[in-house]
Structure 1
Amino acid sequence: MHRISTIETFIVPPRWLFVRIGTDEGAVGWGEASLEGHAEAVVGAMEAVRDRIIGHDVRRIEDIWQLLHRLGFYRGGPVLLSAISGIDQALWDIKGRMLGVPVSDLLGGRVRDRMRVYAWIGGDRPSDVADAARRRREQGFDAVKMNGTEDMDWLDSPAAVDAAAERLALVRETGVDVGIDFHGRVHKPMARQLVRALEPLRPLFVEEVLTSEQPEAIAQLAAQTVLPIALGERLYSRWDFKPFFEAASIDVAQPDLSHAGGISECRRIAAMAEAYDVALAPHCPLGPLALAACLQVAASSPNFVIQEMSLGIHYNQADADLLSYVRNPEVLSVSAGMVAVLEGAGLGVEIDEDAVRAAAIKPHRWRNPVWRGRDGALREW
């Protein structure tokens, strides 16, 4: 019987947190518990995780998930569930490797052979978006995502709305499909104007038009637009998603497999979304382990539509990009806008452990920027 013997964490550039679980019989699995800007908090949460599950049967993934989620008394939230996410991914990786099959086989088997993907363009303050979209087409993508706006005031100039529409129009002219991420930067007084201005340009979806803290306003907005509303990177469990499904206020669920309880919980969120006829598009501006976990769930979820990839995203570095710690980067190759189902055992990516250990010697201290308006007041990032 394999029992958990070690749980190691590695804070590595550009802003990721990898988790390695080992067993007393030599099995190893990797997961990703990246929580952007709060890696140290997740590492701290792992102390309680070790106390709970060292010595536990590594095969009992659901029992471990329930143990970590329910018996800490305090449940939910980004830190605790990011810690669970990394552990959960690593446990599925181990089980798949022990059985010699990809995780998607353990989730009922694949329902598709390839998954559509998209890449980022334009950065936090979007610029040169048309040229960036053309370069993404050359890389094999047929869909991209970009921030809809720079930082905005609670009530901003009509010129800011016009600029957002003009940028989207430039990218649509390149022939790619475009998702628009408002990044929670927009407040209710501006949200309706922006969405209305973008409607004629038909983006794939509009994401985080308002933060998930505003469910009533999101429901109002959803009733007023024909554009698909996407949301979920700041929702951390099926219970967080539940009111949005019940209110029919979102069309695309975007759980993050490194924040929302890992493969176990996000597979449940996907099934819950399917029951409400909501599409699945996992959030993943993160590393290769998080992406591989997303692709395993995507391969086995009927309502999956498109997957975010961080290849060359503006947060990454030349020597710390999506494929920098991967020994088999070819499995994440993009062709005709898609990535093939991962056929390898476990998560399907092979991590370069030596590179990870070397990079973790100098852990990153990534923080999101602080933006202020011309009056000096804080703006949403």
Structure 2
Amino acid sequence: MKIVGFDTYLVQPRWLFLRIDTDEGVTGWGEPIVEGRAETVRECVHTLMERLVGTDPSRIEDHWQHLTKGGFYRGGPVLSSAVAGIDQALWDIKGKALGVPVYDLLGGAVRDRVRVYSWIAGDTAAELAAEGLARKEAGFTAMKFTPFQATPHVPGAALVKETVGKVAALREAVGDDVDLAIDFHGRLSPAAARRVLPLLEPYLPLFVEEPVVPELSRDLRAVVESTSVPIATGERLYSRWDFRDVLPTGIAVAQPDVSHAGGISELRRIAAMAEAYGVAVAPHCPLGPISLAASLQLDFATPNFLIQEQSLGIGYHAGTELLDYLVDPSAFAFSDGHVNRSDKPGLGIEVDEQAVREASEKGHAWRNELWHHADGSFAEW
């Protein structure tokens, strides 16, 4: 089998899809994307694919090594995300060619279903409580939210109490049988995180995500030691080498993204590294159907998996959902906050190529918001 061609598709709301074709009619799909930089990643994919056309798609590890190390300048989100999408597509091809799901190629399933969580949003405590109840009634047993707006380096009493009050209101509304994950989104300084985290302990979050930006990862140990709340991080770490210095800090949960951190191949290695430190894995995935499908394949084969993020109803889709690009949306049917294991080959989904082509004719130019403090200075988004 040889790779004979490929194509990329910019599709709303903010995604990039990749299709790789072979001379035996087997097609693989991947999702290489940096949100807000889709066009840049697309060009990188096209450059990397120059090496792959005419080669054997089954040599996944060999291709990964060449794509990531074959250039003098290495790493970073654009290159690792381009490689990630290609890697996903190659695993999809191999699974389809052999007639087995990717998790079988990773050593086989270690669980029969995967727990997922839902995002909720709200500017006030009442709004968060109402949306939390709605998600609970829809069957979700875990949800994640961001109670912070633009936060100064050292937040004052009013802002701290308002933020903690949102968490308290949500916990009271949904009860203790729903797990709450709180995303700091890197909006706090280490000092602010150490101030806020102990105040959240009575509400027993499942974890607090990205308390500080990845540039401040060396400060994570001090943040971890300031609280009993489990700390999660990793959506903006792009390789096992990025995680090497983070895992010993005492974090509880690693959150690599299968569309950012080198694909299925690299996430498998990151998960194994995390297991050696007693760290669970909860793959980051506020993205499209291919990224979610790839994440689930890993989840089914990863012993230290905790919970899976997914983007249905996340709020930024503007009328476009990930199910719109699938022939059979039931691939992501949730029951009691879980998705059941499928034995379909490859990534386990069938992409609606016609829908993808039609969406790509419109494309997108999504960019994240820019936030500012009250004095006009830049604020972390």
Shorter-chain-normalised TM-score: which range?
over 0.9
- The residue identity in structure 1 corresponding to 2:240 is R
User: Distance between the aligned counterparts of 2:75 and 2:243, measured in 1?
Assistant: 12
Correspondence for 2:363: 363
Q: Which moved more, 1:155-164 or 1:20-29?
A: 155-164
The alpha-carbon distance between structure 1 residues 60 and 261, as it changes in their structure 2 partners (threshold 3 A), is same
- The residue identity in structure 2 corresponding to 1:86 is G
The alpha-carbon distance between structure 1 residues 334 and 122, as it changes in their structure 2 partners (threshold 3 A), is same
Correspondence for 1:163: 162
- The residue identity in structure 1 corresponding to 2:182 is I
Aligned-pair CA distance for 1:75: 1.3
Aligned-pair CA distance for 1:125: 8.6
Q: Contact between 1:125 and 1:147, CA under 8 Å: does it hold in 2? A: no
Aligned-pair CA distance for 1:169: 1.4
The alpha-carbon distance between structure 1 residues 331 and 189, as it changes in their structure 2 partners (threshold 3 A), is same
Post-superposition CA distance 1:271-318 (Å, at most 9, x none): 110111100000000011100111100000000010001001012122
Q: Contact between 1:287 and 1:322, CA under 8 Å: does it hold in 2? A: yes
Q: Is structure 2 residue 217 aligned with structure 1 residue 215?
A: yes
Q: Contact between 1:296 and 1:342, CA under 8 Å: does it hold in 2? A: no
Post-superposition CA distance 1:186-232 (Å, at most 9, x none): 11231111111111111100000011211232111111211111000
Q: Is structure 2 residue 348 aligned with structure 1 residue 348?
A: yes
Correspondence for 2:246: 244
Correspondence for 2:307: 306
The residue correspondences of 1:274-313 to structure 2 (distance < 5 A) are 274-313=275-314
Q: Which moved more, 1:22-31 or 1:229-238?
A: 22-31
Q: Contact between 1:126 and 1:149, CA under 8 Å: does it hold in 2? A: no
Correspondence for 1:78: 77
The alpha-carbon distance between structure 1 residues 72 and 116, as it changes in their structure 2 partners (threshold 3 A), is same
User: Distance between the aligned counterparts of 1:51 and 1:233, measured in 2?
Assistant: 28
Q: Is structure 2 residue 119 aligned with structure 1 residue 117?
A: no
The residue correspondences of 1:23-34 to structure 2 (distance < 5 A) are 23-34=22-33
196, 200, 203: which one pairs with 1:201?
203
User: Distance between the aligned counterparts of 1:242 and 1:36, measured in 2?
Assistant: 25
Correspondence for 1:41: 40
User: Distance between the aligned counterparts of 1:44 and 1:208, measured in 2?
Assistant: 29
Q: Contact between 1:111 and 1:300, CA under 8 Å: does it hold in 2? A: yes
Gapped regions of structure 1 (runs ≥ 5):
none
Question: What secondary structure does 2:20 align onto?
Answer: strand
Post-superposition CA distance 1:65-115 (Å, at most 9, x none): 111001022111100010000000001111111111110000000000001
User: Distance between the aligned counterparts of 1:249 and 1:353, measured in 2?
Assistant: 44
Q: Which moved more, 1:255-264 or 1:308-317?
A: 308-317
Q: Contact between 2:253 and 2:282, CA under 8 Å: does it hold in 1? A: yes
Question: What secondary structure does 1:111 align onto?
Answer: coil
Correspondence for 2:91: 92
Correspondence for 2:150: 151
Instruction: Give percent identity, aligned residues only.
Output: 53
Correspondence for 1:273: 274
The residue correspondences of 1:228-267 to structure 2 (distance < 5 A) are 228-245=230-247, 247-267=248-268
- The residue identity in structure 1 corresponding to 2:100 is V
User: Distance between the aligned counterparts of 2:187 and 2:236, measured in 1?
Assistant: 13
User: Distance between the aligned counterparts of 1:300 and 1:348, measured in 2?
Assistant: 14
Correspondence for 2:333: 333
Q: Contact between 1:103 and 1:346, CA under 8 Å: does it hold in 2? A: yes
* TM-score, normalised via structure 2 length: 0.97
Q: Which moved more, 1:16-25 or 1:170-179?
A: 170-179
Post-superposition CA distance 1:165-204 (Å, at most 9, x none): 1111122121321100000011123111111111111110
Gapped regions of structure 2 (runs ≥ 5):
none
Q: Which moved more, 1:47-56 or 1:59-68?
A: 47-56
Aligned-pair CA distance for 1:138: 2.3
Q: Contact between 2:7 and 2:20, CA under 8 Å: does it hold in 1? A: yes
User: Distance between the aligned counterparts of 2:14 and 2:155, measured in 1?
Assistant: 32
How many residue pairs get aligned? The number is: 378
The alpha-carbon distance between structure 1 residues 70 and 154, as it changes in their structure 2 partners (threshold 3 A), is same
Q: Contact between 2:281 and 2:306, CA under 8 Å: does it hold in 1? A: yes
User: Distance between the aligned counterparts of 1:298 and 1:110, measured in 2?
Assistant: 9
Question: What secondary structure does 1:265 align onto?
Answer: helix
Aligned-pair CA distance for 1:379: 0.4
Q: Contact between 1:295 and 1:342, CA under 8 Å: does it hold in 2? A: no
User: Distance between the aligned counterparts of 1:334 and 1:141, measured in 2?
Assistant: 8
User: Distance between the aligned counterparts of 1:58 and 1:209, measured in 2?
Assistant: 39
Q: Contact between 1:21 and 1:30, CA under 8 Å: does it hold in 2? A: yes
Q: Contact between 1:162 and 1:197, CA under 8 Å: does it hold in 2? A: no
